[in-house]
Amino acid sequence: MSISYLIYSSRPFGFDTAVLNAILLTARRNNERDGITGALIVRHDLYLQWLEGPEDALAALFRRITEDDRHIDIEQHDAGSSQTRAFAAWAMRDDPAASWLWSPAEIENGALRNAAPGEIRAVFARLAVDNRDLEDVV
C-alpha cells in the first residue's frame, strides 16, 4: 500500500512559543485522528513540514493550512508516494532546525525557493529516526 507525502514551507505570522505549542497540540490530535504522520522543522522565520498519510486526508489538511492565518507565503515543494512512512512513530515531530538548515539570510535570499525537491527531501532524511525509511522517496 502506498503512502502519500507532501512537503511545504511557509513563514510564521506571530511566531512565539505559545503559538508553536498550540499548533503542535492541534496537529498531533488531528493527525492521529486522520492517519497522518510527519515532521515540522520550525524557526522564527520558517516552517518546513513533511506530511504523510492517505492522499485525501493530506489534501484536506493542506487546504486547512493554506487557510490558516498563522502561515504566510505558503509554498508546496514536493509531493509523491512511498511504500513506507518516514515518521511513522510521530503524529507530528518538531525540530528547531537551529544549526543544520539554511540561515535566515539564505532563506530571505531564496535558498528554499531555489532548492530542488530532492534537496528538501534530504533535509527530512537527516531528521528521520531511521533513514532507511526514506529510501523510496529520497
**Chain segment 78-94, per-residue pLDDT in tens:** 999 999 998 888 877 77
What percent of the residues of the chain are helix, what percent strand, and what percent coil, each to the nearest 5? 40, 30, 30
Q: What is the mean pLDDT of the chain?
A: 84
Where does the pLDDT of residue 135 fall: very low under 50, low under 70, confident under 90, or very high at 90 and above? very low
Query: Which CATH number is correct for 3-134, 2.60.40.1930, 1.10.620.20, 1.10.10.60, 3.30.70.100?
Result: 3.30.70.100
The pLDDT of residue 137 is 46
Higher pLDDT, 97 or 52: 52
Predicted confidence (pLDDT) per residue in 100-112, tens digit: 678 888 888 988 8
Residue 118's identity, in one-letter code, is G
Residues 6+ apart with CB under 8 A from 10: 46, 47, 65, 71, 72, 73, 74, 75
pTM: predicted TM-score of the whole model, two decimal places: 0.80
User: What does DSSP assign to residue 132?
Assistant: G
